[in-house]
Amino acid sequence: MCEKGYMSAEKETAREPRPDYAQGHLVVAAVRILEHRNGKPPTYEEIGSLLGISHEVVGAVARALRTHGVVRILETPFDTRLEVTDHTLLESLPKEQATAAMKGEVDAFLERSRSKQEDIESLFKGGAYEKKKKERFAGLEEQLKDFQKKKVHDPFAAPPEQAEEDAEGDQD
């Protein structure tokens, strides 16, 4: 049990993401501002609201900052709060998080989006869109004609055999 009645969550988790310098500074600054303003350590939701990010992202950054010893996560049965322990450790965080793998993924995404854009442009420029549209409407009209030709069975009418017997009985 820590000061102010909060339990410290010091358990280590497997492979937390490493926050970059800017994320760490933003979250620590938000914690310090909210703690000053409210007089108590802030929750993930309060930090997320101040920074304009989701509380899940705040939680991920907070867990990573905890592994570096920058913040302490205080858990109660009702909420989870953050407290700054040593802000000077923020300087050990990497200044930039872009890695070669991430750059490769971004390049692959840009190439896929570029090829999709080219496909869409060719569809509209070559008149293929109008042709596909006409074919689709022709197919729908054909389906409508087929549907109209079919006799729909009335569930409330007598079966066809019984209707013939009734008609013969009426003639007698």
Q: So what's the pLDDT on residue 108? A: 86
Tens digits of residue pLDDT in 81-135: 999 998 888 887 777 655 666 777 888 888 999 999 988 887 777 777 788 888 9
Same-domain status, 87 and 102: no
DSSP calls for the chain:
--GGGPEE-----SSPPPP-HHHHHHHHHHHHHHHHHHSSPPBHHHHHHHHTS-HHHHHHHHHHHHHTTSEEEEE-SS-EEEEES-GGGGGGS-S----HHHHHHHHHHHHHHHHHHHHHHHHHHSSHHHHHHHHHHHHHHHHHHHHHHSPPPPTTSPPHHHHHHHHHHHH-
Q: What digits encode the pLDDT tens for the residues 5-60?
A: 444 444 444 444 566 778 888 899 999 999 999 999 999 999 999 999 988 989 98
Same domain, 7 and 85: yes
* pLDDT at site 1: 45
149 pLDDT band (50/70/90 cuts)? confident
- What CATH number did the domain enclosing 30 receive? 1.10.10.10
Quick check: pTM over 0.75?
A: no
The residue segments making up the domain with residue 126 are 98-172
73 and 9, same structural domain?
A: yes
Domain boundary among 92, 124, 143: 92
Q: How many domains does the chain have?
A: 2
